[in-house]
Chains A and B, each alone.
Chain A
Amino acid sequence: MIEDAGALMARVRERDTNAFESIYDANHRLVYGVALRMLGDAPGAEDVTQAVFLKIWNAPDLFRGGNFAAWIVRVTRNRALDVLRSRTRSEGELPEALPEQETLEDVAFARIDAERVRAALAALPPEQREPIELGFFGGITHEEIARRCKIPLGTIKTRIRTGLRKLRAALDETVPA
């Protein structure tokens, strides 16, 4: 999957519309799903989906290798956060792009389907899963998460880290050889 996406993106850089269409077909559910989860409305999610894929077409060099699915999730989240910011003026700053070097972990993660990730996330204790989902999909800061959950800020930070590490460990175990 990751090699296919890289090869397709190389063709997109050459203005190959068929390659672009393949990328759309393979990823539009992911992009739309993230946008829908974050924005909560279909028209907004479609706007974000369109913006993300046009960005891929207009600036394919922004993808510099690595896990394409992870990259496109970040691009989608950033775009949806723009929309959320314009709606709510909420706080928050995004991390930089994914590490540029492709790792074995990226390759392994690329083999995991969404259902496995869902299962791993669902297996986390609620007190760890909820702040992670709020932080990722809600586009809010850890301080807001702490307020909503009525939990001390330091505890929230620790739970986020613990949850992410557990999630990573669980996925490591489920990655097919």
Chain B
Amino acid sequence: MNERTDHDMLDDVAVYALGALPAGEARRVRRHIAGCELCRDEYARLQATASLVGATAATQGDARDCPGTLLKPRIMRAIREQAQPLKVRNAAPRAWPAYLVAAACIAIAIVSSVANIALTGQYRQAQEELARTRQQSTAASQTLLATRTTLNDLVSSDAKRYPIDNGEIVTRSGRLYVAMRSLPQPPRGKVYQAWTLAKGAKKVAPSLTFVPDERGVAVIAIPVDARGLAAVALSVEPDGGSKQPTTKPIAVVPLT
């Protein structure tokens, strides 16, 4: 690399560290950084500095600049409701029902509608497990009802299933799920992202990002009417997601 090229790339590295490069240029810079020690060091320094720019936005205690007083109780209630059933999961030797309990509790807190739940053909066991969990917590029961809708969809005989590696795409009554059983963890700093292609559209639309749990399981309820879709795709993207796929999709599923 000559001196001029060094200089040009270092400017790009700085913009990349700030998070202000478009997708294509970001890929180019990322590839370059991987093989250039000079730019890699510059990136490490400037990214840490760029992150500190965010620190200037920290609020100072003025009530107008602070989150509402109800936010903390809401968050703490959500995580405590999740923490409790995890103990149930550890105590239960059967994998699928316990998994459903953990999934139901995760659904309480994931406001982005991403829910991690288990797939199972043993619907009777699922219902029993869900019933027991409802008795433990009135608040949790409301969420479990919503989760049961998802479970009903996933195990229903009239659901449409589109097998893919490590899982399947499921649709029922316009609802759409990405259900993965043994999905590897994405590379560091990456997440999986779902994409939808509307009928008649030429470009995919970005949807939810997710990572599987430690068992490689994730079920994502995609907030879109599946009846208006031509296809669903999955790809690995930078944490936070992308507007357009930046990697080759790991699955592309035409919906019929």
Do A and B assemble together? yes
A residues with CB within 8 A of B: 15, 17, 20-21, 24, 28-30, 32-34, 36-38, 42, 45-47, 49-51, 53-54, 57-59, 62, 64, 67, 69-71, 73-79, 81-82, 85, 89-100, 103, 105-106, 109, 112, 114, 117-118, 121, 132-137, 139-143, 145, 154, 157-158, 160-161, 164-165, 167-168, 171
Question: Which residues of B sit under 8 angstroms from A29, Cβ to Cβ?
Answer: 58-61, 66
Question: Which residues of B sit under 8 angstroms from A17, Cβ to Cβ?
Answer: 76, 79-80, 83
17 additional contacts (CB under 8 A) given A29-B58, A73-B52, A164-B17: A28-B71, A33-B57, A47-B111, A50-B75, A54-B78, A54-B111, A62-B211, A64-B188, A74-B239, A78-B239, A89-B243, A91-B243, A92-B22, A98-B48, A136-B18, A157-B15, A161-B14
Known A36-B59, A136-B53: A109·B48 in contact at CB below 8 Å: yes
B50 CB within 8 Å of chain A: yes
Which residue on A lies nearest to B49, using beta carbons?
Answer: A168
Most buried by B among A29, A76, A103: A29
Encode contact with A along B80-114: 1 for CB under 8 Å, 0 otherwise: 10110010000000000000000000100111100
CA distance A17 to B256 in the complex (A): 45
CA distance A53 to B22 in the complex (A): 28
Whether B76 pairs with A21 at a CB distance below 8 angstroms is: yes
Whether A164 pairs with B82 at a CB distance below 8 angstroms is: no
Whether B26 pairs with A121 at a CB distance below 8 angstroms is: no
Whether B11 pairs with A82 at a CB distance below 8 angstroms is: no
Question: Which residues of A sit under 8 angstroms from B22, Cβ to Cβ?
Answer: 91-93, 141, 143
> Interface size (B, Cβ < 8 Å)?
69
Question: Which residues of B sit under 8 angstroms from A89, Cβ to Cβ?
Answer: 243
Question: Which residues of B sit under 8 angstroms from A145, Cβ to Cβ?
Answer: 20
Which residue on A lies nearest to B206, using beta carbons?
Answer: A85
Question: Which residues of B sit under 8 angstroms from A46, Cβ to Cβ?
Answer: 67-68, 71
User: Nearest Cβ distance between residue A68 and chain B, in whole angstroms?
Assistant: 11
Question: Which residues of B sit under 8 angstroms from A15, Cβ to Cβ?
Answer: 83, 86
Whether B11 pairs with A20 at a CB distance below 8 angstroms is: no
Question: Which residues of B sit under 8 angstroms from A81, Cβ to Cβ?
Answer: 19, 240
Whether B56 pairs with A114 at a CB distance below 8 angstroms is: yes
Which residue on A lies nearest to B87, using beta carbons?
Answer: A15
CA distance A20 to B46 in the complex (A): 29
Most buried by B among A69, A70, A140: A70
Q: Chain A: interface secondary structure?
A: helix
Question: Which residues of A sit under 8 angstroms from B68, Cβ to Cβ?
Answer: 42, 46
- Which B residues from 222 to 253 make CB contacts under 8 A with A? 238-243, 246
CA distance A166 to B51 in the complex (A): 14
Residue A53 contacts which of B23, B46, B75, B242 (CB distance < 8 angstroms)?
Answer: B75
Whether A54 pairs with B110 at a CB distance below 8 angstroms is: yes
Residue B18 contacts which of A37, A73, A135 (CB distance < 8 angstroms)?
Answer: A135
CA distance A84 to B50 in the complex (A): 19
- Which B residues from 1 to 41 make CB contacts under 8 A with A? 10-23, 26-27, 30
Which residue on B lies nearest to A50, using beta carbons?
Answer: B75
CA distance A152 to B240 in the complex (A): 29
Known A21-B76, A81-B240, A85-B243: A49·B71 in contact at CB below 8 Å: yes
Whether B79 pairs with A54 at a CB distance below 8 angstroms is: yes
Question: Which residues of B sit under 8 angstroms from A53, Cβ to Cβ?
Answer: 75
Known A92-B19, A96-B30, A96-B189: A82·B240 in contact at CB below 8 Å: yes
Whether A94 pairs with B58 at a CB distance below 8 angstroms is: no
